[in-house]
Structure formats: structure tokens, C-alpha cells
Amino acid sequence: MRRQKARDAIVAVTVFGTLLLLPPILPFFDRSVTVGGVPLIVVYVFGVWLALIVAAWALSRRLPMDAPRRARLDDPPTDQIRGEGAD
Amino acid sequence: MLSANAVLFTALAYVALLFLVAFVSDLRSRKGWLALVRSPVVYTLSISVYCTSWTFYGAVGSAARNGLEFATIYLGPTLVFVGWWFLLRKLVRIGRIHRSSSIGDLISSRYGKSTSLAVLVTLIAVIGTTPYIALQLKAVTTSFQVIADATGTSLLGIPTRDLDIRTGFWVAVGMAVFTILFGTRNIDANEHHHGVVAAIAVEALVKLFALLAVGLYVVFWIAGGVPEVFALPTSAAVLQGSDTFGIRWVALTFLSATAIVCLPRQFQITVVENADENHLRTAGWLFPLYLFLTSLFTLPIAIVGLATLPAGSNPDMFVLTLPMQHDQSALALLVFIGGFSSATSMVIVASIALSIMVSNHIVMPIALRLPRRSAGVSGDVKALLLVSRRISIGVILLLGFAYFVASAKSDALASMGLIAFAGVAQFLPSLIGGLYWHQASKSGAFAGLLAGVLTWAYTLLLPSFEGGAIPATFFERGPWGIAALRPQALFGAEGVDPLVHSLFWSLGVNVVLFVAVSLCREQKPLERLQATLFIDVFRNPADNEARFIRRSAAIDDLYVLAQRILGAEQAHRLFRDFARKQGSRDDLPQPDTEFIAHLERQLAGGIGAASARVMVSQVITGETISLEELMKLVDETQQVIEYSQQLESKSQQLQTTARQLREANQRLKALDAQKDDFLSQVSHEVRTPMASIRSFSEILLSDADLSHEQSTRFIEIIHNETLRLTRLLDEILDLSHLERGELTWTLEPVDALAVLRRAVETCQGMADGAAATIAVNGETGPVEVLGHGDRLAQVFINLISNAIKHNTGPSPRLDIRSSVADRRLIVDVQDNGPGVAAADRDRIFAKFSRTWASDRPVTAGAGLGLAISRAILRRMNGTLDLLPDTGQGACFRVVLPLRQTTGTAVGPAAGEQL
């Protein structure tokens, strides 16, 4: 259940991140306002960017691990990887 | 003091360092010490080969011209990596399982291991990458030139006007040597170049460090703080581009997101060189962070550069010229090395990726089609591959250099980065379609790619030569004067940004043809198999392949083949390991279909899937692809999906059913308890009269001296008790029949009020005996209901007699009110007795309610009266209820529906439950 949530969350983060960084939302912040001396649009773009990174970092440890695969790919195939986790 | 020569020697020293890093890493990896080289951080850093000198220097230039637009080049990749779970993870998994050696290999492998598709992809990649390599050469030579000009020194005494060509040449040679040394060391079944990856990771750190250093210097030393930077007048000029956030912003973001997946060098690093799929987990946030840091100071550098450097300075070189302006020699040197790093890492990885593609997809197929010179010698294919890769690297760099020389005097190179992006973006439909769409076919991919790339070349690449080989009129009026065919205004689409215009037409044509042709043309069996193996990669391990392709071969032939491609040692190891796995002590495994599939994948890692298939096909006999098995697999996958969905809904249904069952069970348990109660009460009721009958009859039997009078009294008692018993049993029978709906009386129109009057008359004698008065009020006229006269009378008599019997008040009185409302007849029987105790209200309708048992007269019923009455009324679709207590005695209410005058009343459901 928790994994499913993390998977859904990564979808949401990616989709919302994309929407936030594209018109028509983006130009909304393109106005002559400054935050601590920095134009709003710059703060916004880099802020969303950083938020995406933090979200990806937080979610990366919650997403299910892939089943341990053969140590080296040129080892002969073993049957144990049959039927491993679906996506 | 900085001089061109000093810079040159620093660069050489830096290259020597790279050689050392690559050498040591290669050495370590061959000894099996892979801990550091195969860490997720190194993997992430190596992905930063995305940031070339075009971004190192050019991002500031872009920011100076178009403000924030430069960020799109990084935002696209950021989004792709944040969403790594969907695309990149699948790509890497497929690449690893199918041993894809390049993006061309992966696409060709997906579409039935097609050679022609691989060739097409390779050509596109070469066309797209060569100018990009030229761009790197230009960046390095320009940076040399800038330093030489600024310091007034000359590089090894070469006159400045020749500088760019010569440095360009030597830089190209140096990179070729490095790449050949570390990129073509071996034909590795894994295609891992640990040395190169380590060197690229070091370069990633160097360029990031250089950018951060110059950024911090510019912001805090030159400008004096972040707000001061944005307070400069140039800040407003940079940031207030007219339509930065328009369609071009969207197109660029999309393009850069595509490029991070489709660029051959990115595929090489992200997929081919991936040592562990879980490294993506780290790269998913660390690579975006790298990009974030890379671009953090781009805007400030552009703003400060525009404000402080003399007008007319090249903004593409601000990163370098700003520290030089302020005489920061060390910093300038660091920046130079950073830019040099960006250029070299891109060139190295790109040329490795391209050389693999050229050798696997162009040289190998040609070699395979040439008549065999001699019987295969061990390692001959391997040698051919290595030589062809080395030559291709040389040729690719030579091509890049030639392009650089040809366009050295024009500004065409500056836009080359985005043109290359748009070129490789043509891979996207085939790649994504191949990963997610079963019907995508080879013909569709080929048609889409070809048409897309031709459109791209016509609308974007060709115009970049404007004024050179092609006259300007061609673009203004179109070929042969046909305006609709103008490259930058195709079919009259004028006034659009050229990049957006080209992207729209080329990808549009690409997608439409890809989909349309895929839908029209039937897939070959191998295509269908590969489609299933790719798309369902997380469900069907490639080992399943053996299920579908049946083939046999002589083990000796296979061994010779493996030796030719992999070399004697690796081939021996491969065969021995598999033999062990089969449980054989021999060094040669059984050449079953599973082994052949395994071998083909191993070979594919070296020479590409298409060539591997051709070579294996030469030695095997009797290949059949079991379509039946294939369809089964597809069905199985579909079924698994359907099953899991069904399971989910089933489990919800099950939960509901279980809850209902639990409730039903509780009801059943209650009913069971009621039944037990009923039985024990019946026994009890039967026992009391039986006991008196027995005792009196015993007295009669044993005592002969009884007087006649006495014996008559006893017999009378016995008679009464048997009467009571009979009545009880009758009532029980009656009730059970009623409850089971077995009673055979039919519903007929009855005047309920007449029945009520008759019942009152019947009870009048009893009322007189108890000195009770009965008052009947309400409706007078006939009120017809559907029912049974006698039964209805029984109900009323029962209610009235109960009211009389249980009224212990001083002046017992009964009020019977009848009324008609809402097409129903309501009869209330109200007494002025003590009423029903709250605790008993629920129970009085139950059988043998013990409420009135204690002082029940002999003539009374067995406590079944109300239960029977209720059952009777239910048969007549009516109800019997005890109205809420008002403190003025008990009031029972009978409700009966009036007879429908138009139709027949609906009878009660058969077998009605309790």
C-alpha cells in the first residue's frame, strides 16, 4: 500500500512539476515583483526546481526496490528471476 | 600571469590526469574492485556528460540573449529524471536484459532485430552528432583564442589567425587517442567502460566546481551580493524578454527532455554503462540537483557580464572573460579547464557511442554479407570490430573537425546544439511506441524515422547553411519558386519560430507515419515476440525467449562462433558456466534452445542484436518461432492484468459478502435461539396441563372412595385441561402454518367495520363479566379490505379480549376508533389499564411472551394470540403495532390497506419469513 502510494506520488510530482514549469502557470509569476532583491520569476523557477529535487529525493527511498538481479549480467540466467515484480 | 602556453600545459596536465584516472579505474575494475567505480554517485556524475561546453559557455550567452530560456535545457531532463520510475527504469531494464549496445541496437532489437532500422538510426545519430562535436572543438579553440587575445601571448608561436584550425586539430587528435585507448580496449559482453566512466565523473566534478567558483566570484566579489546583481540595469533587460514563456519555452523543455533520453551519448551512459538498476534511484534526484547547481549562477554571470564588460563582447565567453577582466588568472584557468572538461567528456562519450553504432550496425552487416574469406578464426570478428571502432572514432572526429573547419567563419555552430537535439528527437516516437505499444511495427518505425529526419533536415538543418552552399532565395521563395515548400514556412506556416516550426512538422510527420504504417502492416513473428518481451519486460524475463524460438545447432559450430566474436577466453568461460548451470561436468553445454538464446544475447552485447541474430542464424538449423506460445504469452500477460483487476473487485465483493454472511449468521443464530425458546416454552406449556391431567387421573385411578361429586369435578378439570391443551396445539399449528404461508384461505373483499362490530358483539359478554365498557367510534360506512372475515374477527377479538383481561383498573374502559387515511384503514384499540411495561413492549408480539403468564386464567390463550394476530394481518398486507406509551393504557393499532377498486390486491409473498 505504501509502495503504491509512493508510485502514485511520483506520478503526481512529475505531472504537477511539468505543469508548474510550463505556460500558462509560469507567465503568471512573470511580474515586476522582487523577493529579497531577486525577481519573482527567478525565485519561482528555481524554487519549483528545488522542490522537485527534494520530492524526488524523499520518494526515491520509498519506491520499491527492484529485486536483486544477477550479480553480473554475464552470469548464466537463473530461474529465480522468473515472475519478479511487475511494474 | 596567464599566458596561452601556460593554459596549454595546464590542459595537457589535466588530460594526463584523466588518463591516470581512467587507467587506474580500468585496472581496478579488471581486478574486480568495482566499489567506487560502480557507485550511484559516479553513475550520476557521468550522466552529466549532458552538460557540454555548449551549456558550460553557451548557457550564459543564451541567458544574456533570452533571459530565463536557458533553464529549459535543464528543466526537461530534470522532469525526466524525477519521473525516472516510468521511462528510464524500463529503458535501463530492457537495455540490460537484451544487452543493447546503443540506442540503435535497442530500437532495431525491439522491431524484430532489423538491420535496416539499425542502419537508419546510426546514420541519423552520425548526422546529428558530428556538428555537435564540431561545436565542442569550436568552444575549446575559442577559449584558447580568448586567452591568447586577452593576454597578448601566442600559443607556441602560432599566429592567431591559424590558431583555431590548429588547436582544433590537435584537440581532436588528443580526444581520439584517449577515446581509442579507453573506449575500445575490449569487446566486452557488458559494454562497460569503467575507465571512461570514471574519467567522465571526474570531469563532471571539475566543470561543476569551475562554474560554482566563477559564479560565487561574480556574485559576491564583483557585484557584491545577490540583490545587487538583480539591481543592475541589465537585469531588467535580460529578464524582460517579450515572450520568453511562449510556445518556444514549451518546445525547448520538450526537446531537452527528449534529448536526455534519445541522445546516443546519453543512452550510452544512462543505459549501456549502467552497472546497477538501483543507481537510477539516486540519479533520479542527484542529477536534477547537479543541473540545478550548474544553472544557479548562469543568470547572475550574464547580468554582470553585460553590465561590466565592454559592449560587443561575446556573451558566450562571459564565464571566461569576466574573471580575466578582473585579473583572476587562477580562476580563469579553472574556468578554461572546466570548459575543456565539458567538451572532452562529450566528445569522448559521443564518439564511443557512435563508433559502437557504426561498427555494429554498418560495418558488421557489410562484413557478414561479404563472401567469407576463410573459415572463421578465433577472435577474427572481435578484431574486426575493434579495428572498425577505432577507425570510426578517428573518422567521426575527423568529420567533426572537417565540419568545424568548413563552418569556422560562420555563426552556424551556435545553433547547432538545438538542431542536434531536434534531430535525435526523431527517435522518440519509435522508442516510446516500442516500449509501450504492442502494434508498433518495424515498417512503421522505419517510415516514421525516415520521413521525420528528412523533414528535420529540410526545415532545420538545411537553413543552417543559408548563405553558404545554398542561395538565400531558396529560403525566401522556396525551391523552384514554390512558396508552400519554403523550408522555414512549410505549407504557409509563417511567423513561427524556426525550431518550433521544424519540430512540429518533423515530429508530426514522424508520429503520423509511425502509427499509420504500424496499423496497416502486419508484424512478423519475431517482431511480435520482441514487442512482447520489451513491453512486458517486468513480467517476462528474457529467458522466456527460449519458450518461443525453437532451434538447434551443433555445439562445435556455436563454440567457433562465440570464439570469433568474444575471443577464446571469454567464449570458454561462457560455455563452461552454462554447462555448470545445466549440471554437466563437461565444459560444453547442451546446445538447447535456451542456451542458444542466452548465447545470442551475449553476442548481441558485443555486436548488436541484428548482427548477432544473423551470425547465430548461420549456424543453426530448423528455427521455428512458436506463434502459439507467443499468443499464449500475450494472453497470459493480458490475463494477469485482468486477473489482478478482477481480484481487486472480487476481494471487495468478498468482503461485502462476508459481512452479509456474518449478519445472516447472527440472524440465524437469533432465530435458532428463538426456536429453542419456543420449543422449551411449548414443552412447558404442554407440561402444566399434562401434569394436572396426570395427577387427577392418578387420583381417579388409585382412589376408589372418591365421591361422585369429587370425581366429576376432577374429570371436569381433566376435560378443561385437555381442551386447553388442544387449543394450545391448535394455536401452535395455526401459527406455524401462518408463518410459513401455508394456510389455505383466500383473500376476498370484506367489510372490515362489519367484522369489527361482530367482534365487539362477541366480546360484549366477556366485557360485561369484567364490568368493562366498550366504545366504538369513527368510520361507519362499509370499508372494504382484502382479507378473510373470520380471521380478521379473530384478530379483533384477540385484541379486545386482551384489553379486557389485562385491564386491572377500577373502571375498565375500551375505546375502539376506526379511521381511513391514505387509502388505509386504521383501527386503534385503546384501554385505560396499566399499559405495557417498557421492557415488555418488544416482547409481547413474540410467541409465549411470558408477560401475562403469571396470572393467566385457565381460559386464556397460551401467549400466542398477538403473534398469531400479527401473522394474520401480515397475510392481509396489514400491520399490528403497539403505539408508543402515552401513560393512558395500552393502544394497539391495526392498519389494513383498502381494497383497490380498479385491480386486484397483491397477495402476500409465498413463504414469507418471520
Q: Where are the domains of chain B?
A: 4-425, 541-625, 631-737, 744-897
Residue A31 touches chain B, beta carbons under 8 Å: no
B83 contact A CB<8A:
yes
Which tops the pLDDT comparison, B69 or B477?
Answer: B69
Quickly list H helices, chain A. 2-20, 25-28, 40-60
pLDDT score of B500 more than 60: yes
Contact at CB, A61 and B83, closer than 8 angstroms: no
Cβ pair A39:B578 closer than 8 A = no
| Minimum distance, in Å, between the CA of residue B248 and any CA atom of chain A | 10
CB-count burial class (<10 Å; 0-12, 13-18, 19+) for B226: middle
Do B589 and B582 form a contact (C-beta atoms < 8 A)? yes
A7 touches chain B (CB under 8 A): yes
Q: Residue range B287-305: average pLDDT?
A: 92
pLDDT at position A82 is: 35
Tell me the per-residue pLDDT of B311-346, one tens digit each, with 9 for 90 and over.
778 888 888 888 888 888 889 889 989 988 888 888
CB B535 within 8 A of CB B489: no
Q: How far apart are CA B598 and CA B581, in angstroms?
A: 12
List chain B residues with CB under 8 Å of A45.
Answer: 68, 71, 75
Ordered DSSP codes for B667-680: HHHHHHHHHHHHHH
B340 touches B52 (CB < 8 A):
no
What is the CATH number assigned to the segment(s) B4-425?
1.20.1730
In degrees and rounded to multiples of 5, residue B418 shows phi and psi of -70, -35
Classified by CATH at the fold level, domain B744-897 comes out as Heat Shock Protein 90 (3.30.565)
Is B82 in CB contact (< 8 Å) with chain A? Answer: yes
Give the angle subtended at the CA of A64 by the CAs of A59 and A70, to the nearest 5°.
Answer: 130
Q: Return the pLDDT at B372.
A: 61
User: What is the distance in angstroms between the Cα of B405 and the nearest Cα belonging to chain A?
Assistant: 39
**Distance in angstroms between the alpha carbons of the first and the last residue of chain B:** 107
Residue B912's pLDDT band, with cuts at 50, 70 and 90, is very low
- Overall average pLDDT of the B62-77 stretch: 88
Q: Phi and psi for A34 in degrees, rounded to 5?
A: -120, 145
Separation of CA B560 from chain center: 45
Q: What is the pLDDT of residue B211?
A: 92
pLDDT at residue number B230: 86
- Please check the confidence at residue B455 and state whether its pLDDT lies above 70: yes
Cα separation, B550 vs A64, in Å, equals 36
Rounded alpha-carbon distances, angstroms, from residue B204 to B21, B88, B162, B374, B508:
13, 21, 31, 47, 36
B858-899 pLDDT, tens per residue? Answer: 444 556 778 888 888 888 888 888 888 777 788 889 898 888
> A57, A65, A72, A82: best mutation site toward chain B, by most B Cβ within 10 Å?
A57
The torsion angle over the Cα atoms of residues B43, B44, B46 and B52, rounded to 10 degrees, is 170
How far does A66 lie from chain B, in Å, by closest CA?
Answer: 7
Identity of the residue in A13, A22, A54 whose CB atom sits nearest the CB atom of B250: A22
Residue B86 near chain A (CB below 8 Å)? yes
Confidence of residue B376 (pLDDT cuts 50, 70, 90): low
Mean of the per-residue pLDDT values for chain B?
A: 81
Does the CB of B227 have a partner CB in chain A at under 8 Å? Answer: yes
Q: Give the number of beta-carbon pairs within 8 Å between A and B.
A: 136
From the candidates B34, B97, B281, B599, which should be mutated to test the interface with A, based on the most A CB atoms within 10 A?
B281
Cβ–Cβ of A57/B580 closer than 8 Å?
no
What local confidence, expressed as pLDDT, does residue B849 receive? Answer: 57
A73 touches chain B (CB under 8 A): yes
The predicted structure's pLDDT at residue B241: 63
For B631-737, CATH number out of 3.40.30.10, 1.10.3720.10, 1.10.287.130, 3.40.1350.10 equals: 1.10.287.130
Does residue B711 surpass a pLDDT of 90?
A: no
HSE, side-chain direction, 13 A CA sphere, residue B861: 24
Of the listed ranges B408-422, B469-483, B708-722, the least confidently predicted one is B469-483
What confidence score (pLDDT) does residue A76 get? 39
Show residues of chain A in contact with B299, CB under 8 Å.
42
Q: How far is CA B177 from CA B15, B21, B170, B183, in A?
A: 11, 15, 10, 10
pLDDT at B259: 92
**Which element (helix H / strand E) includes B820?**
strand B813-821
Q: Is the Cβ of B231 closer than 8 Å to some Cβ of chain A?
A: yes
Give the pLDDT band (50/70/90) at residue B188.
low
- pLDDT exceeds 50 at position B173: yes
Most confident of the ranges B15-29, B147-161, B488-502, B736-750: B15-29
Q: For residue B754, with 0-12 CB atoms within 10 Å meaning exposed, 13-18 middle and 19 or more buried, which class applies? A: middle
- The Cα A10–Cα A14 span in angstroms is 6
- Within 8 A of A52 by CB-CB distance, chain B residues are 78-79, 82, 288
Residue pair B45/B209 in contact (Cβ under 8 Å)? The answer is: no
Rounded to an integer, what distance in angstroms lies between the CA atom of residue B778 and that of residue B666?
44
What nine digits make up the cell of B394?
Answer: 578517428
Interface check B602 vs A, CB under 8 A: yes
Q: Which of B13, B3, B2 is nearest to B340 (CA)?
A: B13
SS3 sequence of B527-549: HHHHHHHHHCCCCCCHHHHHHHE
- Window from A12-26, B156-170, B194-208, B497-511 with minimum mean pLDDT: B156-170
Whether the CB-CB separation of B150 and B323 falls below 8 Å is answered with no
Distance CA B602, CA B544 (A): 15
Residue-level pLDDT at A24: 82
Query: Rounded CA gap, B392 and B265, in Å?
Result: 15
Say which of A38, A66, A77 has its CB closest to residue B278: A66
Indicate the pLDDT class of residue A30, thresholds 50, 70 and 90: confident
Distance to chain A for B243, nearest Cα, Å? 9
Nearest Cβ partner for A53 among B225, B231, B285: B285
- Report which listed range, B92-106, B197-211, B597-611, B813-827, is most confident: B197-211
Interface of A with B in 47-66 (CB under 8 A): 49-50, 52-57, 60-61, 63, 65-66
Q: Is B278 on the interface with A (CB under 8 A)?
A: yes
> Nearest by CB to B239, which of A21, A39, A52?
A39
